A and B are shown apart, each in its own frame.
Chain A
Amino acid sequence: MRMSVLLRKNLLIVVSSLFALALAVAAFSSWNLYRHLTGEYVSKGSAVAESIANSGIEMMLNRDASTLQALIDQWKEIEGVAYIIVVNSEREVISHTFVPVVPDEVLAVETSARETRVNKLHIRGKGDYIDVSAPILGGVIGYVHVGMDKGMIEKGIQASVVGQGSLIALILAVVLLITYLFFDRHVDSPLKKLTSYANNMLAHNYSATAGIESNDEFKYLANAIEQIAGHFQRVIANSEQTMKELSDTAGKLEAANARLKELDTMKTDFTSTVSHELRTPLTSVLGFAKLIKARLNERIFPLIGTEDKKTEKTMKQISGNIDIIISEGERLTALINDVLDIAKMEAGKIEWKKESFSAREIIDRSTAATSSLFEQKGLTLLKEVPDELPMITGDRDRLIQVAINLLSNAVKFTERGSVTFRAQDAGGEIVLSVTDSGVGIAPADRDKVFEKFRQVGNSLTGKAKGTGLGLPICKEIVTHHGGKIWVESEPGRGSTFSFSIPRGEPEAAEGLSDMDDLMKRLREQVMTAIPSHRSERKKILVVDDEPNIRELLGQALTSSGYDVLEAANGIEGIKTAKKERPDLITLDIMMPEMNGFDTAVVLKNDPQTMDIPIIVLSIVEDRQRGYRIGVDRYLSKPIDMDALLKETELLLQRGASPKKFLVVDDDEPTAKAITAMLEARGYSAIDSCCGAECIEKAASLKPDMIIIDTVITHRHDVMKTLRYEKGMENVLFVLLGK
């Protein structure tokens, strides 16, 4: 049976106090004993010394030394006597009891002729003594020294201390035993019972009893705990019921929640499907409308005489109608794009870019994009922007989109006055705000404007242009960047829409990490490097499952001077590409039989077709995948015909798609990163570190393009060497500054 902690502690206290007491008693009594024994030894020694001195008179005068020796030997047998020595008046030793020699210390002890003297004496190598010296016949005959052994005193004390110690130990043991038994019976065992009872309770066994019989505090405590246990039992019974109900409800809620989630996904899916289904016909409608308009303007109207007023009026009407079709189509496209955007954002399916750029870019590009709106309405845009603006990290185009929306809203809801664009560097974040002097927003509506499809105000009187998705999209974008968007407004006097973007830490080589950016720069290089000239008619293969789109693209490309081939799906496209060897391929992604990605993989891996540039035209937003496969451009639907034609021209001018890149950068991680990136997009890229190596590699590999660090060009004159001495005039150089 183990002792309880309480018992152990109490026993410890008892033991230590008793021990302290015992120590004190032992110390006192041994001190007392020491004094007593010393006194006794001194008187004993004196008696012996005096007795020898008395009998010594006759012996030393008349008798021989051995008689004296026998006498002192006899006295030496007395307990405590350590030595006896008799000297004559000349201090010569007559008799002594030392073995092997008389220590010098004894002979040096001072004596008195008149009385018995007591001296403390330490004999080296032997110990401490009390030397009692007595004169024989007033010192005339000599002196007797009796040495009392102090060690004996100590031994005596030791013996008594040991005796006392064992007695105390015995008493201690008895006291301990009694204490233990008492505690065990009256404290420890009830305590243990209570403990095990409490443990029972802990194990939810409330029906157990403490089982304490004694009529003391423990009993009262046990009773109290038993009552508490009863109470617990009732409470727990109650709560169990409640818990059950709760969990039932939770189950129901969970089911409902799952259903809601399902509904939400369904909604998102529905939205994107509908949007997609709408966009495809819309692309045709809009495209054809534009084509019709172009044909009319180019071919039909010039043929019709303008003399006839009626005809002229009709022509104007037709032209105006087509313009309405186009503008409404564009509005619808925008609407669909917005719906799709917000749907994707909410579903978390959007590809966010992460690039580092200056906040100034947002301001410049958004104001540029909306300048025509301001002109149209005759409003002025004021800018309050500090000279220094920090860098931010995020999706540049999306953030510009936010600014554009706010600016266009401001224009939209302002008839007179001005619009102010402010930028503030507020420590950790940048706050951009657009203030107008327009209609304002009622306080009750302020929060609602960020909700989807909410156009506040009177939709009957105020013409509501737009969908009411602009601000919700803004909110999604800003929130994604970790910022906030809010409005302050006074109805009738104007509104201020602000958003904040946390300042971003510039990321290493971030500027280069975006392939689109690099591509853009490459494009610019190409544009300036090679003069635009078209020698022969080029063949373009349009691969799309939608006949209308094929027709639209075909007409648009033909009218731009290209020969157009068509294919209705991937397999057909590959066949045609191999047979006809077109100069460029436009490729849809969502197609039956074989989708666009798979088609691109096949084309880019077949030696016969791998050189043909591919432009993806799709509503499927997976640029990353496209570039990985090796497509050259990725454009989204609805088709921006101008962009398509520009890219087409660029790619055809370049000839074959530039397959080989030489990356020259003495910062190895950067070179590796660019190489990896290019390779991911289907290019073959070789990195090389220093100038000389670059020249060698360039000579042997004949790359289509060299991406090179400006530091290296400065240092080694690589450009000159390669351009003029190696005869590689057609190689494109892209310089990367840091």
Chain B
Amino acid sequence: MYLRSIILVSCLLLLLPFPQASEAADIVLGMSAAFTGPSRGLGIELYRGTLAYIERVNRSGGINGRKIAIKAYDDGYNPVPAIENTIRLIEKDNVLFLADYVGTPTVTRILPLLKKYSDRHIHLFFPFTGAQPQREAPYNEFVFNLRASYSQETAGLVDHFLKIGRKRIAVFYQADAYGRSGWEGVRKALAGHGLRMVGEVTYRRGTRHTDSLREQAVILKKAAPDAIISIGAYAACAAFIRDARDEGVDVPIANVSFVGSESLLSRLMEIGREKGKDYTANLVNSQVVQNYDDMTVRAVREYREAMDAYNPMPPLELTDSGYEPQKYSYVGFEGFLNAKLMVEVLRRMGNNPDRERVRGAVEGIKDLDIGINTRITFGPGKHQGLDDVYYTTVQQGRFVPITDWGRWSK
């Protein structure tokens, strides 16, 4: 049903004349992400961040007079629609490359397609996932990553927890490739210290924040962990935090970047308001981009300016109603940075960008300053731009960088 309605909607979309496509939008990039369902906040915010920069570029004349358009489809965070969208983007929409895909289970499944279409030189830019498959052979050659990997995030989290004496680590994870990827990260990090996780529990992808995850909370409570690392989507993570706290589990719960911190926070506040309880304490969220509140960072200033000026929204047909967009977010900021880099690549390809020259253009980037702390270098065999992980926690209703881990020491 779900699948079919998506196909139907997509077909309808094809028949409609798109303003971006028809208005001499010479450069078309393809995107498939969750614009509906419990993870829609990720797809929408990533799109908004990316489009804010592209809007800025387009408004200042585009690239060599050519405007950039993003052709986006909804996959609802499910692999099969993601595959279908990808085929359509490559064959029908004839996009220059794919960009801003969201999610491990989705991305992992389209990787073989990239290999299959290798004769058409299709590349995926900066997917919103830290999973390993696209970072490793045989698919790493078709994918460019900007963000650090989950294994980097989880290893960082494990290291910090161990440092403050929290050795009993348990994992709450999504029962799919994303969850497994985070789980693997934690497992390997612990193994490096000669430790094993004290408990593990999965949940089903697509769980909503209104669903109960009490069973999972109870199981992990029995393992008596010092800290829980949560590899999930924001709706399920919010539900888990609620149920774990309600079960009396008050140890730090860490979430990785994919969770979409602002979306998680909104959910938790909402639950907290309903139940008259604070669920935002003792949360640790790892981020793969800098804090968007740090105005000393040039890219942050640019991001905020662009968002303030354009506040772009995804095409109405893609989303379902009732979504409250975030003013700024880590996801949106990541999308903005993704766009900056993609525009740089397009610029480097000159007047006539084509698929064949994409890889060369990216691999030619060396020590590029995009307005953040770190300079970016790509090259053959090096398809990941950043390795930085930032740790944040909630203070006064916002995620702010952690300055002192000692408060959780044991």
Chain A residues in contact with chain B, CB under 8 A?
A: 62-70, 73-74, 95-101
What chain A residues lie within 8 Å of B181 (beta carbons)? 64-66, 69
- Let me know if B176 is at the binding interface, CB within 8 A: yes
User: Are the C-beta atoms of A99 and B133 separated by less than 8 Å?
Assistant: no
The 8 sampled A-B contact pairs (Cβ below 8 Å) are: A63-B132, A64-B136, A65-B181, A66-B181, A67-B133, A70-B104, A97-B175, A99-B204
- Let me know if B200 is at the binding interface, CB within 8 A: yes
CB distance from A61 to the nearest CB of B (A): 12
User: Are the C-beta atoms of A68 and B219 separated by less than 8 Å?
Assistant: no
Q: Known contacts being A100-B215, A100-B216, is A67 close to B203, with CB within 8 Å?
A: no
Tell me which of A66, A68, A95 contacts B104 (CB under 8 A). A66
Q: Known contacts being A63-B133, A64-B184, is A69 close to B177, with CB within 8 Å?
A: yes
CB distance from B143 to the nearest CB of A (A): 13
Which residue of chain A lies nearest to B182 when distances are taken between CB atoms in the complex? A66
User: Are the C-beta atoms of B175 and A66 separated by less than 8 Å?
Assistant: no
Query: 5 closest pairs, A vs B, by CB?
Result: A66-B181, A69-B180, A64-B132, A70-B108, A70-B177
Count chain A CB atoms within 10 A of each CB in B131, B132, B133, B179 and give the residue with the most. B133
CB distance from A218 to the nearest CB of B (A): 61
User: Are the C-beta atoms of A66 and B219 separated by less than 8 Å?
Assistant: no
What chain B residues lie within 8 Å of A100 (beta carbons)? 201-203, 215-216, 219
In the assembled complex, the Cα of A69 lies from the Cα of B183 at a distance in Å of 11
Tell me which of A66, A74, A99, A101 contacts B180 (CB under 8 A). A66
Chain A-chain B contacts (Cβ-Cβ < 8 Å), number: 69
- Let me know if B79 is at the binding interface, CB within 8 A: yes
Number of interface residues of B (CB under 8 A): 27
Tell me which of B104, B108, B133, B202 contacts A98 (CB under 8 A). B202
User: Are the C-beta atoms of A99 and B175 separated by less than 8 Å?
Assistant: yes
User: Are the C-beta atoms of B176 and A73 separated by less than 8 Å?
Assistant: yes
In the assembled complex, the Cα of A638 lies from the Cα of B181 at a distance in Å of 145
CB distance from B152 to the nearest CB of A (A): 13
Q: Scoring B residues 196 to 229 as 1 if CB is less than 8 Å from chain A, else 0, what string do you get?
A: 0000111110000000000110010000000000
User: Are the C-beta atoms of A73 and B219 separated by less than 8 Å?
Assistant: no
Within B304-351, the residues touching A (CB, 8 Å) are none
Which residue of chain A lies nearest to B137 when distances are taken between CB atoms in the complex? A62
What chain A residues lie within 8 Å of B105 (beta carbons)? 70, 73
- Let me know if B71 is at the binding interface, CB within 8 A: no
- Let me know if B56 is at the binding interface, CB within 8 A: no
In the assembled complex, the Cα of A490 lies from the Cα of B176 at a distance in Å of 132
Which residue of chain B lies nearest to A74 when distances are taken between CB atoms in the complex? B109
CB distance from A58 to the nearest CB of B (A): 10
Which residue of chain A lies nearest to B139 when distances are taken between CB atoms in the complex? A67
What chain A residues lie within 8 Å of B177 (beta carbons)? 66-67, 69-70, 73
What chain A residues lie within 8 Å of B131 (beta carbons)? 64, 66
In the assembled complex, the Cα of A100 lies from the Cα of B203 at a distance in Å of 6
8 additional A-B residue pairs with CB within 8 Å, beyond A64-B184, A70-B105? A66-B104, A69-B181, A70-B177, A73-B177, A74-B109, A98-B175, A99-B175, A101-B200
CB distance from B214 to the nearest CB of A (A): 10
Q: Known contacts being A65-B180, A66-B104, A67-B177, is A101 close to B133, with CB within 8 Å?
A: no
CB distance from B227 to the nearest CB of A (A): 19
Chain B residues in contact with chain A, CB under 8 A?
A: 79, 104-105, 108-109, 131-133, 136-137, 175-181, 183-184, 200-204, 215-216, 219
In the assembled complex, the Cα of A40 lies from the Cα of B254 at a distance in Å of 45
Count chain A CB atoms within 10 A of each CB in B177, B181, B201, B216 and give the residue with the most. B177
In the assembled complex, the Cα of A70 lies from the Cα of B174 at a distance in Å of 12
In the assembled complex, the Cα of A65 lies from the Cα of B183 at a distance in Å of 9
In the assembled complex, the Cα of A63 lies from the Cα of B108 at a distance in Å of 13
Q: Known contacts being A63-B133, A63-B136, is A68 close to B216, with CB within 8 Å?
A: no
What chain A residues lie within 8 Å of B201 (beta carbons)? 100-101
User: Are the C-beta atoms of A99 and B202 separated by less than 8 Å?
Assistant: yes
What chain B residues lie within 8 Å of A97 (beta carbons)? 175
CB distance from A64 to the nearest CB of B (A): 4
In the assembled complex, the Cα of A84 lies from the Cα of B102 at a distance in Å of 25
In the assembled complex, the Cα of A620 lies from the Cα of B201 at a distance in Å of 124
In the assembled complex, the Cα of A361 lies from the Cα of B74 at a distance in Å of 131
In the assembled complex, the Cα of A66 lies from the Cα of B188 at a distance in Å of 13
In the assembled complex, the Cα of A74 lies from the Cα of B175 at a distance in Å of 12
What chain B residues lie within 8 Å of A65 (beta carbons)? 180-181, 183-184
What chain B residues lie within 8 Å of A98 (beta carbons)? 175, 202
What chain A residues lie within 8 Å of B219 (beta carbons)? 100-101
What chain A residues lie within 8 Å of B200 (beta carbons)? 101
Which residue of chain B lies nearest to A97 when distances are taken between CB atoms in the complex? B175
In the assembled complex, the Cα of A446 lies from the Cα of B119 at a distance in Å of 149
In the assembled complex, the Cα of A99 lies from the Cα of B212 at a distance in Å of 13
In the assembled complex, the Cα of A97 lies from the Cα of B203 at a distance in Å of 10
CB distance from B175 to the nearest CB of A (A): 5
In the assembled complex, the Cα of A343 lies from the Cα of B219 at a distance in Å of 118
User: Are the C-beta atoms of A68 and B202 separated by less than 8 Å?
Assistant: no
User: Are the C-beta atoms of A64 and B133 separated by less than 8 Å?
Assistant: yes
What chain A residues lie within 8 Å of B178 (beta carbons)? 66
In the assembled complex, the Cα of A64 lies from the Cα of B185 at a distance in Å of 10
In the assembled complex, the Cα of A99 lies from the Cα of B203 at a distance in Å of 5
What chain B residues lie within 8 Å of A73 (beta carbons)? 79, 105, 176-177
CB distance from B316 to the nearest CB of A (A): 31
CB distance from B140 to the nearest CB of A (A): 11
Which residue of chain A lies nearest to B176 when distances are taken between CB atoms in the complex? A73
In the assembled complex, the Cα of A67 lies from the Cα of B133 at a distance in Å of 6
User: Are the C-beta atoms of A67 and B109 separated by less than 8 Å?
Assistant: no
In the assembled complex, the Cα of A66 lies from the Cα of B108 at a distance in Å of 8
In the assembled complex, the Cα of A101 lies from the Cα of B180 at a distance in Å of 13
Count chain B CB atoms within 10 A of each CB in A63, A65, A95 and give the residue with the most. A65
User: Are the C-beta atoms of B180 and A68 separated by less than 8 Å?
Assistant: yes
What chain A residues lie within 8 Å of B176 (beta carbons)? 69-70, 73
User: Are the C-beta atoms of A66 and B216 separated by less than 8 Å?
Assistant: no
CB distance from B33 to the nearest CB of A (A): 18
CB distance from A626 to the nearest CB of B (A): 109
In the assembled complex, the Cα of A98 lies from the Cα of B202 at a distance in Å of 7
What chain B residues lie within 8 Å of A67 (beta carbons)? 108, 132-133, 136, 177
In the assembled complex, the Cα of A99 lies from the Cα of B133 at a distance in Å of 23
User: Are the C-beta atoms of A101 and B202 separated by less than 8 Å?
Assistant: yes
What chain A residues lie within 8 Å of B175 (beta carbons)? 96-99
Tell me which of A66, A95, A99 contacts B132 (CB under 8 A). A66
CB distance from B132 to the nearest CB of A (A): 4
CB distance from B187 to the nearest CB of A (A): 8
Which residue of chain B lies nearest to A73 when distances are taken between CB atoms in the complex? B176
In the assembled complex, the Cα of A96 lies from the Cα of B175 at a distance in Å of 8
What chain A residues lie within 8 Å of B104 (beta carbons)? 66, 70
User: Are the C-beta atoms of B109 and A70 separated by less than 8 Å?
Assistant: yes
What chain B residues lie within 8 Å of A96 (beta carbons)? 175, 202
What chain B residues lie within 8 Å of A64 (beta carbons)? 131-133, 136, 181, 184
CB distance from A69 to the nearest CB of B (A): 4
CB distance from B54 to the nearest CB of A (A): 30
CB distance from B138 to the nearest CB of A (A): 9
Which residue of chain A lies nearest to B207 when distances are taken between CB atoms in the complex? A99
What chain B residues lie within 8 Å of A101 (beta carbons)? 200-202, 219
Which residue of chain B lies nearest to A66 when distances are taken between CB atoms in the complex? B181
In the assembled complex, the Cα of A64 lies from the Cα of B133 at a distance in Å of 7
What chain A residues lie within 8 Å of B180 (beta carbons)? 65-66, 68-69, 95
In the assembled complex, the Cα of A239 lies from the Cα of B16 at a distance in Å of 103
CB distance from B220 to the nearest CB of A (A): 9
CB distance from A427 to the nearest CB of B (A): 96
In the assembled complex, the Cα of A371 lies from the Cα of B313 at a distance in Å of 152
What chain B residues lie within 8 Å of A66 (beta carbons)? 104, 108, 131-133, 177-178, 180-181, 184
CB distance from B81 to the nearest CB of A (A): 13
What chain A residues lie within 8 Å of B204 (beta carbons)? 99
CB distance from B229 to the nearest CB of A (A): 15
In the assembled complex, the Cα of A95 lies from the Cα of B133 at a distance in Å of 15
What chain B residues lie within 8 Å of A62 (beta carbons)? 137
CB distance from A85 to the nearest CB of B (A): 12
What chain A residues lie within 8 Å of B132 (beta carbons)? 63-64, 66-67
Which residue of chain B lies nearest to A77 when distances are taken between CB atoms in the complex? B80
